[in-house]
A = this chain, B = another copy of it.
Amino acid sequence: MKKILICLFSFLLFCDVKAQNTEPIHASMNKVRLDFMVDADGRPAYKVFFGDRPVINNSYLGIKLKDDSAFNKHFVLAGSEKTTVDEYWTPVWGEVSKIRNHYQQLTVHLKQQDASKRLLDIVFKVFEDGVGFRYEFPKQPNLKYFIVSDELTEFSLTGDNKTFWIPGDYDSNEYPYTISPISQVDASVLAKSATDIGVRYVPDKYGIQTPLMMKTADGLYINIHEAALQNYTSMQLHADVKTFKLTANLVADAAGNKAYMRAPCHTPWRTIIVSDKAADILASKLILNLNEPSKIENTSWIKPMKFVGVWWEMQTGKSTWNYSNNLDTLGADGKLIPNGKHGGTTANVKRYIDFAAKNGIQGVLVEGWNTGWEEWFGSWNEFIFDFVTPYPDFDIKEITQYAASKGVKMIMHNETSGSATGYERQMDTAFRFMNKYGYTSVKTGYVGKIIPRGEHHDGQWMIDHYIRVAKKAAQYHVMLDSHEPVRPTGLQRTYPNWMACEAGRGNEYNAFGSGNNPNHETIMPFTRLMGGPMDYTPGIFKIKGYTADPERQVKTTLCKQLALYITMYSPVQMAADIPDNYEKHLDAFQFIHDVAVDWDDTKIIEAEPGEYITTARKEKGTDNWFIGAIANENGRNANIPMDFLNKGKKYVATIYADADDADWKKNPEAYKITKFLINAGTKLHIKLANGGGAAISIKPVTNEDKGLKFYK
């Protein structure tokens, strides 16, 4: 049941206005204020304030059309309306079970003062924690089909903000973050050096990706991104390193165009989240609120879950995705010669199923189960994978039966190698195959240059492709976890079977790349995760000493890996390490066993991007809480008040903390587990090692907890 309050105080001026607007029109919600104006040249512009402090200085708005460069000026204001909405809605799954949607909306109607009389509306929604706006193209005689050749949206920053950025790459979000003032942005260096990223294309030296997290000199936290990216291309930003003005930088298609539109239509929302508290940025629901409600009516089959997978062993060189080393050299029997290191074998998969069944993990992912992996990467070949042909040592019937007998769900893996056309051609076949063998979720992958050739991972065609996959998956009641797609923009509200995406630098880079810096996970929730859940694949217990490269290591402590299950929100969470490594630390694995993946409530207790995050979440439908606290390379003492617990009730807290001498580099696997009684008045003091973290599970006290001491 929704509580809806709509206040309508609109004023309409649907006549031709000759004079330009000089007085700004305001919309506001609590401390956030939006000013809109049209300048003497008929150029629309806006400003954003947080209290008295400017957030975005005067910034122009507009779209450049391919057949008409002047769709950003010669406008007059032909009218405007204001509305206020206050309502609550219930997500299918999420960080909280109820979301408030409270905003004031300002719609401005613009009309061009020339023969075309073209119309453009701009809609602003002002929330307590920021502003969203989008361009709307009404039905009109002189604008129907059009091609967007550029978007001229500006975000004029008030100073040389501290910025957490990755390059504006059309194909990848998998970069490490740089923390620098805007004035020091240079995407070209990283674009060249990041050779651990398979496909990179960074056309603009000053191009940076959204969600872009910033902090002003006077302590305002600002996040710029977009919401509800559909039927359009994705927006990156061009940074003017001298004036600190950011400009929309749309990802181009194979023909050099940005977006293909037919009026009536609109762009995605451009979002500016702002607060003087970093924690408010993480808690913001602005992006979700700007997305459409679920288009899936029956959502009963959509279920958050934890899973293990035949995957990390390939990442670390213990086994391979491919069955053979060479497709061209066959054995005497005319068949492929197995390389003896194939990971996705029936026997090996059964070990993962056994482990999952024994340890409360619902799902098992298997990569490298299907033919094609011998030549899957780098060939720009459209026809690598068919999604239905297992390798000879992967007995899908036997595995299906075995998993079912153990109560474990198998998770499908559809790597496309970037061949989206190939996938679309076979998608129905692939999903029918999943239905046949009882797979209820699929991890997709797009590692490689995109086909249609010349398209990019983040361009309009691919954006629509990912959504087509989500819709098709929903038809077959399959949950989706997309790897290497465009970064999310809150569409999980609209397509709630689209559980998670990668679209960021995951834990895997600690296995095969230059790794993730110890501050990486303190930045990601402020950047990549603002748009939606990430399949970050936490839970690595064996931090050092992998086959592929003994020098390489995960740049966290073991306990920080546990904390990530809370600080890196996702409704699907992998326990990414191999069973052997978990079995050596089953006491620590208990946290992964216990931790929930769907929540009634979330409290961002403390947070500072690049430094630390402490988050507490209440499991959906229980009185259990789970806390994750992480630090950057400098460690810290976390003081965590338990004031979110029910007053007058006793709980048991199990604390998984770094050992006193733990250190991400020198001693990453050292931890200690302690158990105490606590209540709402308790304040936990936990030392987080350099690059460390802590995980806490909190449950109402039971008879079994009798001997426990109260925390002091």
Closest to A254 in B: B454
Closest to A139 in B: B328
Q: A262: which B residues are within 8 A, CB to CB?
A: 375, 379, 381
Judge if A301 is at the interface, Cβ distance under 8 Å: no
Give Cα A378–Cα B146 distance, bound, in whole angstroms.
Answer: 11
Judge if A257 is at the interface, Cβ distance under 8 Å: yes
Interface pick from A23-31, A70-78, A420-428: A420-428
Q: Judging by beta carbons under 8 Å apart, are B453 and A255 in contact?
A: yes
Most buried by B among A380, A424, A452: A452
Closest to A455 in B: B452
Closest to A256 in B: B454
Q: Judging by beta carbons under 8 Å apart, are A453 and B145 in contact?
A: no
Judge if A663 is at the interface, Cβ distance under 8 Å: no
Q: A260: which B residues are within 8 A, CB to CB?
A: 380-382
Q: Judging by beta carbons under 8 Å apart, are A421 and B145 in contact?
A: no
Judge if A253 is at the interface, Cβ distance under 8 Å: yes
| A160-191 interface (Cβ within 8 A of B) | none
Q: Judging by beta carbons under 8 Å apart, are A379 and B452 in contact?
A: no
Closest to A429 in B: B428
Q: Judging by beta carbons under 8 Å apart, are B453 and A379 in contact?
A: no
Set B254, B378, B381: member contacting A452, Cβ < 8 A: B254
| A377-407 interface (Cβ within 8 A of B) | 378-382
Closest to A449 in B: B255
| A242-269 interface (Cβ within 8 A of B) | 253-255, 257, 260, 262
Most buried by B among A255, A257, A424: A255
Give Cα A253–Cα B139 distance, bound, in whole angstroms.
Answer: 35
Q: A378: which B residues are within 8 A, CB to CB?
A: 145
Give per-residue flags for A72-104: 1 if the beta carbon is below 8 A from chain B beta carbons, else 0. 000000000000000000000000000000000
Give Cα A424–Cα B382 distance, bound, in whole angstroms.
Answer: 14
Tally of chain A residues near chain B (CB < 8 A)? 26
Closest to A260 in B: B380
Give Cα A424–Cα B428 distance, bound, in whole angstroms.
Answer: 12
Most buried by B among A147, A260, A375: A260
Interchain nearest-CB distance for A448 vs B (Å) = 12
Once A260-B380, A262-B379 are accepted as A-B contacts, the answer to whether A454 and B145 lie under 8 Å apart by CB is no
Give Cα A328–Cα B375 distance, bound, in whole angstroms.
Answer: 49
Give Cα A382–Cα B262 distance, bound, in whole angstroms.
Answer: 12
Set B147, B379, B424, B452: member contacting A145, Cβ < 8 A: B379
Judge if A461 is at the interface, Cβ distance under 8 Å: yes
Give Cα A260–Cα B375 distance, bound, in whole angstroms.
Answer: 14
Interchain nearest-CB distance for A470 vs B (Å) = 15
Give Cα A491–Cα B381 distance, bound, in whole angstroms.
Answer: 23
Q: Judging by beta carbons under 8 Å apart, are A421 and B328 in contact?
A: no
| A448-462 interface (Cβ within 8 A of B) | 452-455, 461
Once A262-B379, A381-B145 are accepted as A-B contacts, the answer to whether A453 and B421 lie under 8 Å apart by CB is no
Q: A375: which B residues are within 8 A, CB to CB?
A: 144-145, 262
Closest to A264 in B: B328
Interchain nearest-CB distance for A338 vs B (Å) = 20
Closest to A379 in B: B145
Q: A454: which B residues are within 8 A, CB to CB?
A: 253-255, 452-454
Closest to A424 in B: B425
Q: A379: which B residues are within 8 A, CB to CB?
A: 145, 262
Interchain nearest-CB distance for A623 vs B (Å) = 48
Most buried by B among A139, A147, A254, A455: A254
Give per-residue flags for A123-148: 1 if the beta carbon is below 8 A from chain B beta carbons, else 0. 00000000000000001000011010
Interchain nearest-CB distance for A653 vs B (Å) = 53
| A438-453 interface (Cβ within 8 A of B) | 452-453
Interchain nearest-CB distance for A376 vs B (Å) = 11
Closest to A428 in B: B428
Set B139, B253, B381, B424: member contacting A424, Cβ < 8 A: B424
Q: Judging by beta carbons under 8 Å apart, are B453 and A253 in contact?
A: yes
Give Cα A428–Cα B425 distance, bound, in whole angstroms.
Answer: 10
Set B144, B145, B453: member contacting A257, Cβ < 8 A: B453
Interchain nearest-CB distance for A182 vs B (Å) = 33
Extra inter-chain contacts (17) besides given A424-B424, A452-B452, CB under 8 Å:
A144-B375, A145-B378, A145-B379, A145-B380, A145-B381, A254-B254, A254-B453, A254-B454, A257-B453, A260-B382, A262-B379, A262-B381, A421-B452, A424-B425, A452-B453, A453-B455, A454-B454
Q: Can you offer 12 A-B residue contacts whose CB atoms are under 8 A?
A: A139-B328, A145-B378, A145-B379, A145-B380, A257-B453, A260-B381, A262-B379, A262-B381, A421-B424, A421-B452, A424-B425, A454-B454
